[in-house]
Structure 1
Amino acid sequence: MKSRDAVDLAQNLLQVRAFEARRLDALNAALSPTMPFTGTEKDIPVQQSVCSVPVDSDARPAVKRMAARSETNFLPLVLDTFSQVMKVDNYLSSDGKDAGPWKWWQRNQMDARQTGLHRSALHYGVAYAAVLPALTPGQEATGAEVFWNPASPRQMTAVYGERMVWDPKVGGPIDDDWPLHALEINGNMIRLYDEQDVHFIGVKSQPHSTLGWTDPSYLRAENFSYIESRHHGIGVCPIVRYRDRVLLDGEEQLGIIEPLLAVQARINETTFGMLVAQYFAAFKQRYIIGWTAKSEETALKMKANNVWTFADNDVKVGELNETDLTRYIESKDSGLLDMSAIGQLPPHALGLTKVSNISDTTLAALEAAKERKSDEITTSFGESHEQAFRLAAFIEGDTAAASDFASEVKWRDASARSYAATVDALGKLGQMLGVPDEFLWEFIPGWTRETVNRAKQMRADTDPLAQVYEAPAVPDVAMTGDNTDNGQ
């Protein structure tokens, strides 16, 4: 691709990115906390997303302060609940052994970086990972090193073809496992990926208007500077897409946060109403019609008296009852139950106090819906991980691992079970069904791949038969030519 063509393609993809940004920015703001109100007008947050109390309104400062503090955002907790149980622990080949590409996962610190990859896909409905060989300007790519770079959809935009579209270059339908092109932007630097090269493009001026990259004044050719291209030679655009679910009708991107935005807004409004009632009407209030205290001392004396008397017959004394806050609490719990049902979360994960003192069996039953949803999501993520592992193997030159479509990733077990009951069940599997111990170790709660490998090594070190089989052979002196009688 020529430099001019690369810049033109980047300009087109930036407009696609601007279209996606409206939804992605809204989802990002939904999990971003507002700044707390510290007591002055200038400290009130500019974005009042919790309730309809604009900063420039004539509402009392106390109301504005309560509006800023009424945010009770459970959406980050929803994201944490699912993200924390999705950890890849190993990658196995079709024969059940550790696959070779797993080393690139370790070298790229993906044990830790997978958290951001999974959270982005859960949050926005999609995330990406670029799997590339070592790129050197002016030289052919080498498979001696493989780099794994996850990216949020707020950083990367990828465009895909349709499976039923015939591509004359490949003599068949387009495979939508790989994008046609992808664009990654970081500040003033753009990376444009295609099936052969990575193009580096600089941006002199980024948009500051609400139109974003749809503003034609920023899409001028002179605003872009083509820097260089680096050849990867893979033959496909080396971007792997991660989706929380694979749907058949177009390119829907939902995630687990977007369906809960309306319920979260209702919880915030209920909290705001409760704070207002708590501030202004949580206590009984007395009123006097036809009399006013002449001094502050007299007013304090009246407040301290149990019985008030007045000489004027026209003076009327009354009392206003306090507002019952339990209705607001019940309304908030109702919103949390709706969020629990829609998000398939156990009620106790959202802090509902009605669930307490439950057994391990009951806890597992409560989390059944969450585990079913997690299994569906990890199935989709697992296919993407396997695609990335096969791409890493292809870059390295390991054709056997690259063509092993029966390989699979192993997820760490984080389900809610009784530790004693689980170990007892595993023991019965070994005794009654003859399942090897080394295989059952992988299902012990809390045991990672490294723990299982250490246990296997310790068993091998203490097994006398294994030591005999692994001991070097001792040469038979009687069978060698050195058995001579020096005295003859």
Structure 2
Amino acid sequence: MADTSPAALAVQLLAILGRDKDRLTRIDDYLHGRHDDPYMPAMADDEYRLLARRAVSNWMPLLVNTPAQALYVDGYRAGDDANKGAATDLSSPQWEHWQRSRLDARQSAVYKGALTYGHAFTLTERVAGKVLTKGLSPLRTSALYEDAANDDTPYAALSVTAWPKDGKPGRARMWDARFEYAVTFKALGDSEGVRATRGKRHGSSECPVTRFAAAVDLEGRTIGVIEVMIPLQNRINQTIFDLLVAQTYASVKVRTATGMAPPVQRDPDTGEIVYDEQGNPIPLPINHNAKRFLFAEDPDVRFGSLDETPLGGFIDSIDMSIRHLSAIAQVPPHHLLGQIANLSAEALQAAETALSRKIQEFRTLFGEAWERVFRLAAELEGSGAADDFKGEVLWRDMEQRSLAQAADALGKLREQLGIPAKGLWKRVPQVTQTELDEWDDLADEEDSVKQLASALTRATPEPVTADEVPAAA
């Protein structure tokens, strides 16, 4: 039978961090531009190494930021019977928890962590009497699952708060279904130095750590957008390095002269030729530049030139590699190349289709995780929404459409299909949930005014004209 004691769980969780450390560190290095050096000669000098550093062209942040910037939770719709189908109430306990945790700004870090490393985590806990949710770094956090491919609730989770340093043990926090533990450890691979001390009940009926995974396969493995792109990034860096070498050493014509020897150094006292250690005469430096020319009195001297190396092939190779990067990452080429001229609206929409599908997949995965966070927060706050499995987060529409085009399309939907106007409000480009609620209140006020005016009109008798007065008998 497996050992499920706190110390044994801590050992397993620390071992996961140790197992993934090299892989995640390599991903982190590529995100921040610390790439492998391109191939260069074994005896490369400092000038070559300088060109190698300048050859790094880091595309990785763009692959992460492009989908992350389209992920923005803007509201939450409860799924309980009382509020089913209703618009988001910004005064609801779920949204109050969201605002109290400042997740409007902090949600982006969670998405970028998950897209970069394959997964990220959040912790929902009570702090100073308030229930808050914060993000946890995947470089410091690990979780155990009974079924990592299908479970959204960890069996246990651990997050390192301080790494071992200067002989002092590292510290971590660990959670299971009921308790939080204080963990100390000497090293990630040292199972003998792990100690786990029970702290307190965390107040939830399950582990309060939630995983945000960019992609999970049936083996429970998570993968982000960077790891699979490292070979392509290396190819681009190598091509740019070759371009810089050719540009530095072979991009100009080389002038040649045959049959002519340069002047040599002579001893100023004796006039004899000065030789180096190998017995060769030491030539005098020649001051030759674009404003000077060479001539020779000897008729056997011949001048010539060597053609420069064309750079167009290197540039075409870089362009091709970036297009491969675009296709595999499902990022439109114009996002990477900056080439958007002469694209019709239909062509631009077609280019964005793959990215839109990818973003929709991320919204589905991350939305389920946020819904679990809301349920955890509701349980800690004692709300009845702790069992609300029908609720859903609302994502802001980040597609760039002109207001005139949207208004025309929404007007046609209203007139031709009879869709209620309120049902189309959230289709307005860049509208926020706060604006939707304000519009709803204004519409209710306008309806009230219209109803009052109609009632007053019906209650007011029509004026009687002189022609309508009956004649006296």
TM-score clears 0.5: yes
- Per the alignment, residue 9 of structure 1 pairs with 9
- 1:456 and 2:409 equivalent? no
> Is the 8 Å Cα contact of residues 148 and 220 (structure 2) preserved in structure 1?
no
Question: 2:236 maps to what in 1?
Answer: 267
User: Hey, what's the Cα distance between the residues in 2 that align with 1:133 and 1:156?
Assistant: 19
Q: What is the CA distance between 1:130 and its match in structure 2? A: 1.5
Q: How many angstroms apart in 1 are the aligned matches of 2:422 and 2:450?
A: 15
Partner residue, 1:116: 109
| TM-score between both structures, scaled by the size of structure 1 | 0.79
Assess, with a 3 A threshold, how the Cα gap between structure 1 residues 462 and 61 changes in structure 2: closer, same or farther. same
Indicate conservation of the 8 Å contact 2:396/2:432, yes or no. Answer: yes
Answering whether residue 392 of structure 2 is matched by residue 408 of structure 1, we say yes
Change (3 A) 1:254 1:310: farther
Aligned mate of 1:289, from 258, 269, 278:
258
Single out whichever of 459-468 and 194-203 deviates more from structure 2: 459-468
Residues 1:254 and 2:241 aligned together? no
Q: Which residue of 312, 332, 335 maps to 1:346?
A: 332
TM-aligned CA deviation for residue 100 of structure 1: 3.6
Conserved 8 A contact 1:288-1:318: yes
Maintained 8 Å contact 1:263/1:335: yes
1:193 to 162, 165, 175: 175
Q: CA deviation at 1:374?
A: 0.8
Partner of 1:178: 153
1:308 to 1:429, Cα distance in 2 relative to 1, 3 A = same
Conserved? CA contact 1:108–1:148, under 8 Å: yes
Identical positions, percent: 32
What's the counterpart of residue 370 of structure 2? 385
1:370 paired residue among 355, 379, 395: 355
Q: Tell me which of 422, 432, 446 is aligned to 1:438.
A: 422
State yes or no: 1:25 paired with 2:25. Answer: yes
Q: 2:85 aligns with which of 71, 93, 96?
A: 96
The answer to whether the Cα contact below 8 Å between 1:87 and 1:411 also exists between their aligned partners in 2 is: yes
1:72 match: 57
Q: If the length of structure 2 is used for normalisation, what is the TM-score?
A: 0.81
Report the residue type matching 1:408 in the other structure.
Answer: E
State which of 129, 142, 152 in structure 1 corresponds to 2:137.
152
In the alignment, residue 184 of structure 1 is paired with which amino acid? Answer: S
When structure 1 is superposed on structure 2, of 451-460 and 113-122 the one drifting more is 451-460
Residue 147 of structure 1: how far off its partner (Å): 1.6
What is the rounded CA distance, in whole Å, between the counterparts of 2:450 and 2:178 in structure 1?
Answer: 50
Aligned to 1:140: none
Match of 1:51 among 38, 42, 47: 38
Structure-to-structure mapping, 1:459-478, within 5 angstroms: 459-465=443-449, 468=452
Mapped contact 1:195–1:233 kept (Cα < 8 A): no
Checking the alignment, whether the CA contact within 8 Å between 1:360 and 1:418 is kept in structure 2 is no
Tell me the residue number matched to 1:335: 321
Matches of 2:210 and 2:319 in 1, distance apart? 40
Read off the aligned partner of 2:22 and give its amino acid letter: R
What does residue 470 of structure 2 align with?
Answer: none
> Partner residue of 1:230?
200
Q: Match of 2:370, as an amino acid?
A: H
Structure 1 counterpart of 2:220, which letter? Answer: E
Structure 1 Cα separation of the partners of residues 40 and 183 of structure 2: 43
Match of 2:402 among 396, 400, 418: 418
State the one-letter code of the partner of 1:440: L
In the TM superposition, what is the alpha-carbon distance from 1:109 to its structure 2 partner?
Answer: 0.5
Corresponding residue of 1:278: 247
Structure 1 match to 2:461: none
Structure 2 unaligned residues grouped into runs of 5+: 163-169, 265-282, 454-473
Superposition RMSD in Å: 2.8
Structure 2 Cα separation of the partners of residues 422 and 50 of structure 1: 49
CA shift digits 1:266-316 (9 cap, x unpaired): 000000000000000111111223323328999447864668444152x34
Instruction: Give 3-state SS (helix, strand or coil) of 1:367's partner.
Output: helix
Gaps of 5+ in 1: 35-47, 136-143, 165-174, 208-212, 470-488
Higher radius of gyration, 1 or 2: 2
Q: Secondary structure at the match of 2:367?
A: helix
Instruction: Give deviations 1:2-41, integer Å, cap 9, x for gaps.
Output: xx9434432332112100112111110111124xxxxxxx
- Work out the CA distance in 1 between the residues paired with 2:318 and 2:390: 48
Say whether the 8 Å CA contact 2:10–2:196 is kept in structure 1. Answer: no
SS at match of 1:49: coil
Which amino acid counterpart does residue 108 of structure 1 have in structure 2?
S
